[in-house]
Amino acid sequence: MTTAAGDAKEKAPPRRKLLGERLIDAGLVTPDQLDLALREQRRTGERIGEILVNLGFVAQEQISAVLASQAGVSFVQLDNYLIEPAALKCVPESVARRHKLIPILLEPPKLTVALANVFDVLAIDEVQRITGYMVDVVSGTESSVLAAIDQYYAGGVSIEEIVQKSIRQVEAGRLSEADLAAGAPIIRLVDQIFLSAVQDGATDIHMEPEERVFRTRFRVDGKLRMGPSLPKSLQPAVTARVKILSAMNIAETRQPQDGKINFYVGKRKIDLRVSTLPTVHGENLVLRVLDKSKLVLGLESLGFDEATLARFRRLVESRNGIITVCGPTGSGKTTTLYSALSYINGLDRSIVTLEDPVEYELPVIRQCQINVKAGLTFASGLRSILRHDPDVILVGEMRDSETVELAVRSALTGHLVFSTLHTNDAAGAIPRLINMGQEPFLVASSLRAIIGQALIRVGCTACRETYTPSPETIERAGLPAESIHGTFLRGAGCAQCGQTGFRGRIGVYELMEVTPAIARLVMKRANSQDLLEAAMAEGMTTMRQDGVAKAMRGLTTLEEVVQLT
């Protein structure tokens, strides 16, 4: 027989470990250090975490991370966070300061809030009552939360207000360029530009100095759109801020430089690849936006038609040979290659890549970054990779004859090689390889397939309407006029697409297999037109034909297809 007291004892929850015990378990402090801190706590009454930090035994970030783990929440580095203005407006500054918290992300019905004390139930309740949102708590250090409050609440966060405050600092003339770059208004201004670009879905940020203005533009869906235009007086401070973030030499303005910035928007990690170029009006900056959350890997997601997808699957399962992807810069070649690698990736294969740069990290795959200054080029890297027993090799680009020769040799010795070439279509890749010094018989025997691709914009689904293309466009697309009866759709332009009529992009493809007939033409050094005609005779769908099919399904406009293929 079990007593009620016995039942209660059996059901009693395990005792929650104290902070000091957790720090010892994590190896952050020793028992002697904790004992000393506890004696100090009995004397002063301060919190044990503060005492351990003041004694220099542990960093505040480590305390916050352990407390976050204890509470079952995430720990964030607010220094690397871009805080959304929409989230900031939900909580008054007085509440933020009183409870040492800051809202960082609004995703209705959820508001993410960073707290210095994640066990402050009263703070969480008050934020829920004020905002009406469900509160998702993350942990931040007290110093970083207070610094973020000072940075983001002071004077508002609209770009216009930040610009005016920055101008007043510049006109005062009392601060150096580096001091201005480290000031709160400039920090908020650069953060807001980054945030606007990410929210607009930009792939590149251009910061362009002109004679009287410092202009920003965002590349969205392959087209440049105007961003904020800043006063010329802010150019040095904004440029310096970006260079500081990307670990560049801010004193060097005569030589191009490259760098990298990492930050977070909510839980999304964003990488910026930064490049500077000296011009007559100052340093031009271009920042490539790499948002891993937008990278969707999978052959099915690329946009191949069913027949081409089946052929491509069969090809990437090959044990040897070269598969190359062709297209202009920004046409999605990296996504196609990564999708192919993900499809065949597994513990039974050794896959090694050589990239410039490594844009996204893939599990289980060894990815190598080109470093020309250190002597690691595509050619030298490929030589080294061959000594590491690879089954599959990805070479980011076949830029020179030496790299092509090594890729061909790798394919002929039992390796499957993926790479890219900068040609406009699939047929143009073969003469290009031969012109780079390869014998036609080697190209014919090593090359398995070439994919030509381009990205075209997708019509906005919120504002699309039927229309009839012009006779000239229909003729250029190769369509019979009698087949056009309100088949096509286009976006009229609305707030959701920025009045462009387009939202997002999709690939158009052509897949040329090196069949025996194509191989014979390669041996004869046939030109690209003869190769194209032979491939079409064997059933290849061209990029233009693939694009027209997508336009007839309402995915894009016929004008977009004709212009880009």
pLDDT tens for each residue of 9-26: 455 555 567 888 888 888
DSSP string, 58-70: S-HHHHHHHHHHH
Measured CA to CA, the distance from residue 516 to residue 465 in angstroms comes to 46
Residue type, 522: V
- Short-list 541, 564, 533, 532, CA closest to 308: 541
Find the mean pLDDT for residues 250-260.
93
Find the mean pLDDT for residues 531-557.
94
Angle at 469 between CA 464 and CA 472, to 5 degrees: 155
Q: What is the CA radius of gyration of the chain?
A: 29
Find the mean pLDDT for residues 41-58.
82
**Model confidence over 200-249: pLDDT tens digits?**
889 999 999 999 889 999 999 989 988 888 888 889 989 999 999 999 99
pLDDT band for position 156 (cuts 50, 70, 90): very low
Query: Could you tell me which residue, 134 or 296, shows the higher pLDDT?
Result: 134
Which residues lie closer than 8 Å to 308 by C-beta, 6 or more apart?
509, 511, 541, 546
Residue 479 is predicted with a pLDDT of: 80
- The residue with tokens 């005016």 is 164
How long, in residues, is the chain? 565
Cβ pair 460, 497 in contact under 8 A? yes
Tokens linked to 16: 């929650």
Query: Could you tell me which residue, 13 or 544, shows the higher pLDDT?
Result: 544
- Short-list 510, 512, 503, 502, CA closest to 547: 510
pLDDT band for position 175 (cuts 50, 70, 90): very low
**Model confidence over 161-172: pLDDT tens digits?**
666 666 665 555
DSSP state of 12: P
- pTM: predicted TM-score of the whole model, two decimal places: 0.68
Residue 59 is predicted with a pLDDT of: 82
Question: Of 25-34, 149-158, 305-314, which range is least confident?
Answer: 149-158
| Cα 470 to the center of its chain, rounded Å | 38
Beta bridge partners of 115: 101, 139
Measured CA to CA, the distance from residue 318 to residue 191 in angstroms comes to 46
Q: Which sign, positive or negative, has the C-alpha torsion 154, 159, 164, 170?
A: positive
Residue type, 474: I
Residue 485 is predicted with a pLDDT of: 62
Tally Cβ neighbours within 10 Å of residue 272: 23
**Model confidence over 107-144: pLDDT tens digits?**
899 999 999 988 889 999 999 999 999 999 999 988 88
Cβ pair 365, 351 in contact under 8 A? yes
- The residue with tokens 């595509």 is 378
Question: Of 176-180, 358-362, 468-472, which range is least confident?
Answer: 176-180
Q: Is the pLDDT of residue 458 over 60?
A: yes
- The structural domains of the chain, ordered by start, are 71-153 (3.30.300.160), 174-292 (3.30.450.90), 299-455+505-543 (3.40.50.300)
Q: Is the pLDDT of residue 8 over 50?
A: no
Residue 66 is predicted with a pLDDT of: 86
Tally Cβ neighbours within 10 Å of residue 264: 17
Cβ pair 387, 410 in contact under 8 A? no
Q: Residue 133: exposed, middle, or buried by beta-carbon count in 10 A (0-12, 13-18, 19+)?
A: buried
Cβ pair 321, 448 in contact under 8 A? yes
Measured CA to CA, the distance from residue 282 to residue 243 in angstroms comes to 13
Q: Is the pLDDT of residue 430 over 70?
A: yes
Residue type, 425: D
Question: Of 68-82, 222-236, 332-346, which range is least confident?
Answer: 68-82
Q: Which sign, positive or negative, has the C-alpha torsion 30, 35, 36, 42?
A: positive
**Model confidence over 435-450: pLDDT tens digits?**
999 999 999 999 999 9
Mean pLDDT over all residues of the chain? 86
